[in-house]
Amino acid sequence: MKARVHVMLKNGVLDPQGEAVRHALGALGFDGVNGVRQGKVIELDLADGTSEADITSMCEKLLANTVIESYSVEMV
Amino acid sequence: MRAAVVVFPGSNCDRDLAVAFEAAGAQVEMVWHKDSELSQNVDIVGIPGGFSYGDYLRCGAIAAQSPIVASVKAHADRGGYVMGICNGFQVLTETGLLPGALLRNAGLKYICKTVGLRVETSNSAFTEGYNAGDVIDIPIAHHDGNYFADAETVARLQGEDRVAFRYTDNPNGAIADIAGILSENRRVLGMMPHPERAADAGHGGTDGQALFRALAGVLATA
C-alpha cells in the first residue's frame, strides 16, 4: 500500500518560495495569479495493514512541523 | 565547566564551538550523533551550526530524531544547560526544547555577513556578560533563519523576558526581529547568529567572547 503525504505551510505563514513563483508567473505574462503556495509531496511505500494512526504519527513526529506546516494524507 | 559538542553528519561549526568553549576555560568533549549517552558530569551541551543530515526534509528535522538528542532532552529536563547556534537552533525548535520554527529567509537568499544584535536581557547565564540594550556585532550565515512563532508564543516570550537577542536591522524577516530566545528556565538558548565566530581577535571581532566567558563564570561554580 502507498500513502501520499502533502505538506504545506499553514495559511498566514509567509511562503517566500511561493511568492517568488508568483512573481515569475507574472513576468511570463500570466495575469490573475493571486497567490502561489509551494509545498511538498512525500510518498510512503508501506507494509500492507499499516494503520492510519501510524501514518498520522509519522506525519506529526517527522514529516510535517505542525508549528508551521499542515499536512494531508491520501491513500493511493 | 564541562561542555559537550554534538557532531551530526553535516555539522561544520562543531570545532569552532569547541574552540570557543575551550578559550573560555571549558573542558570539551565531542559527541557523535549515534552515541546515546552524554557523560554524566557535562554542564552544557552545544549544538553547533551546519547542515545536519543535509537539511533533508527540513533544517534540523532529522537531527532532532537522532539517538543523542534524546539524552540532550533529558539533560535539559534535569535543568542542564543547552546552547544551539544556527542549525543547532533549528534542531532545538524541532525537538520542542524551544518554541517556534525557522523558515526560509524572507528574501530567499542565503545571507553571510556580520549583523548588529541588541542584547534584550542580561538575565541568563548566556547573556549576563552584556548589559540589556548593548548592541554587538555577530556574524550570521544562514538560509533558513526567519524565526516564526504564533502571536501568543511571541507575546509569551516577550512577557517572560525570554527574547535574548534582536536584530537591529532584520536580515531574514524574523518575527519581532527575534534572533535568539531562551527556554522557560532560561537554561536553553537558541540563536541564529554565530557568537563562536566572534570569539577571537583573529576573527575580526570579539563581541561573542562575553557570552562564553559569562557561561564559564556561571558553570565554574555549578
Give per-residue pLDDT as tens, B157-215.
999 999 999 999 999 999 999 999 999 999 999 999 999 999 999 999 999 999 999 99
Residues 6+ apart with CB under 8 A from A40: A6, A7
Residue B104 corresponds to which cell in the numbers above?
526560509
Query: How many structural domains comprise chain B?
Result: 1
The domain A2-75 is placed in CATH, from the list 3.20.20.450, 3.40.50.720, 3.30.1490.20, 3.30.1280.10, at 3.30.1280.10
| Confidence at B221, pLDDT banded by 50, 70, 90 | low
8 Å CB contact of A13 and B58: no
Q: Determine the length of chain A.
A: 76
CATH of residue B53's domain is 3.40.50.880
Which domain range does residue B203 map to? 2-220
> Cα–Cα–Cα angle for B120, B137, B163, nearest 5°?
20
Catalytic machinery residues of B: 86, 194, 196
CA triple B135-B160-B123, angle to 5 deg: 50
Interface ipTM: 0.87
Query: Which candidate from B62, B65, B103 shows the least CB-CB separation from A68?
Result: B103
**Are B86 and B192 within 8 A, CB to CB?**
yes
**Chain A residues 11-40 with a CB less than 8 Å from chain B:** 13-14, 16-17, 20
Report the distance separating Cα B1 and Cα A42, nearest Å: 44
Q: What is the pTM of this model?
A: 0.94
